[in-house]
Structure 1
Amino acid sequence: MNVYLLQVINGVGIGMLYFLLAVGLSIVFGLLRFVNFAHGAFYALGAYLCFQALQFGLDFWAALILAPIIIGALAWLTEKVMLRYVYAQPHEFHILITVGLALAVQELIIVGWGPLGVDVPPPDVLQGVVMWGDFVYPKYRLFVIGFTALLAVALWWLLEGTRIGSAVRAGSESTEMVSLLGINVFRLFSLMFALGAGTAAIAGVLAAPIRGAEPFMGVEALGVAFIVVVIGGMGSFTGALVGGLLVGIVQSLMSTLWPEGARLMIYVAMAAVLLLRPHGLLGRG
């Protein structure tokens, strides 16, 4: 099988994980105008909860269900008791409080699971490879592509085909208009913040069997998520999807063509997009 085609498929899988990371960040910023630097911490917690579930004797599938529920609930509680009171403050306050929260989570991970990374095996049914002619590819990575694609469709339906999605889209334009429609804006904010954290947790669970879990993975993930959001456009669901795929494919291809510059090329792609479209590929001007 052509190595470049294989890398493109790898890039699609990585890009879909980046999409799950970035879509929550993008929605929260589009609706709340809130810069959440703790978003990567939810991703890291998802990976570690997957590891802990296996230690408790549960399987990967239980972790895939429980982790986003637990982390979404924690995010909902955090939003209600802490973050809600700084929405009206300048973005500097958003950065300070969420960076502090991210550092606290990182230190709690080190205290609870140690400073070194841990390995998370894929589920037994997804171990091994798929062989179809000269096509040989890991089963687990194919599952990640398929599962994240289905999840993207479900999220698209939620945001485009439901009353909640309509309120989110309207709120990204004017929160005052949403309030006039009789919708509890703060409840909507809490729900979207929890949804964003839950999707980041799912990305962490899915990434754990590929790259393991380690305390500083949230910082790396946060940087990539911001790049994806900037490329796709703030507040855009489709932009997060396109941006995630673009970043994943560029990174995967460059790891073969120029391994030392693979990460650099992500920033080059972001700079190129911003030069052509300052608001992102699908962002609103």
Structure 2
Amino acid sequence: MPPLALVISQIFHGLILGGMLALVGSGLTIILGTLGLVNFAHGAFFAIGAYAGWLVFEWTGSYFAALALGALATCAIGFVVERGLISRFYQRPHEDQILLTFGLGIVIVEGLRAWFGGIGKTMPSPEWAAGAISLGPIIYPTYRLVVLGIAVLSLLAFYLMLYHSRLGLIVRAAIEDTLMVRILGLRASRIRAMVFALGVLAVGIAGVAMAPIVSINPDVGARFMVQSFVVVVIGGLGSFPGAILGGLIAGQIQTLTAIFEAAYSDVALFMTMVAILALRPRGLLGEEGRK
């Protein structure tokens, strides 16, 4: 039986990983549910966020500036990419859209590699979040708790935007009844660009927040992208609450499995996804008939 301190520590790890996966998955859900676009470049935007945050921190020395400007820079890049490239593919077959975003992700990753090199960068955690604090039987890094706070506040902000604003009303309407929104003419180019940029903003925040924890390299977002797709499938396609629930479940599965055998953490996650789909094909919070 694993020591109690180890189990508690891994539960906290799972909450933090789950929060970040929920944030990344929520961005993927917003784009997929509203635009019907499977964004295989999502992980590349995570890397853009991490590099943007690192650059701002190098220039300013301010963590808050890095978090805000890094996320906004990622959002702006997403807006430009949508307007200049992705907007031309909405009427194309889904196969073309998949190839486009997959290829876009490769181009972004290799562009980052050419610009910054393949050696990982490091972004220190802010001084005010250095060290560790006592949480009962464990000593836990302070910055990881800050990351959990960022995930919670960001998800709350996205929730308020989606459920208590005009843009959120349009986004949720598109998720619930895409055909009706098209008939009403609400899928204008400006709305599509804003929705895509919003989804990219979520993954940009996650990229900057995780920068002091992971090694910043061009491939840093690949693992998060794969896991975020699992999160969306577990929670239910197009369901924002489902993305949050799926992220928390995925985080706990990954970290608790690692107590016994770290090599099987991904296996356990995918087996859980298969089991959920076998029992509930639309996901935990997905609705019947959603496409």
The verdict on a shared fold, with TM-score over 0.5 as the criterion, is: yes
Contact 2:5 2:137 in 1 (8 A): no
In structure 2, the partner of 1:64 is 67
Distance 2:187 2:249 in 1: 36
Letter of the structure 2 residue corresponding to residue 201 of structure 1: G
Distance 2:279 2:142 in 1: 38
How far the C-alpha of 1:182 sits from its partner, in A, is 6.3
Letter of the structure 2 residue corresponding to residue 211 of structure 1: V
How far the C-alpha of 1:73 sits from its partner, in A, is 1.1
With structure 2 as the length reference, what TM-score do the two structures score? 0.93
Distance 1:11 1:184 in 2: 37
Letter of the structure 2 residue corresponding to residue 55 of structure 1: E
Cα RMSD (Å): 1.5
- 5+ residue gaps, structure 2, are none
In structure 2, the partner of 1:192 is 195
Aligned partner of residue 91 in structure 2, secondary structure: coil
In structure 2, the partner of 1:52 is 55
Q: 2:95 aligns with which of 88, 92, 95?
A: 92
- 5+ residue gaps, structure 1, are none
Aligned partner of residue 211 in structure 1, secondary structure: coil
The total of aligned residue pairs comes to 285
How far the C-alpha of 1:58 sits from its partner, in A, is 3.2
In structure 2, the partner of 1:148 is 151
After superposition, the C-alpha distances for 1:251-279 in whole angstroms (9 at most, x for unaligned) are 01111111121121111111111111111
Contact 2:71 2:205 in 1 (8 A): yes
Aligned partner of residue 210 in structure 1, secondary structure: coil
Which residues of 2 match residues 22-37 of structure 1 at below 5 A? 22-37=25-40
Identical aligned residues as a percent: 37
After superposition, the C-alpha distances for 1:110-147 in whole angstroms (9 at most, x for unaligned) are 11111121222111110100125434211001111122
Contact 1:175 1:185 in 2 (8 A): no
After superposition, the C-alpha distances for 1:172-229 in whole angstroms (9 at most, x for unaligned) are 2334533565646322211110011111011011111111211112222211111111
Distance 2:245 2:231 in 1: 8
Distance 2:257 2:138 in 1: 21
In structure 2, the partner of 1:120 is 123
In structure 2, the partner of 1:233 is 236
Letter of the structure 1 residue corresponding to residue 94 of structure 2: H
Distance 2:28 2:135 in 1: 38
Aligned partner of residue 117 in structure 1, secondary structure: coil
Distance 1:208 1:143 in 2: 13
Which residues of 2 match residues 259-270 of structure 1 at below 5 A? 259-270=262-273
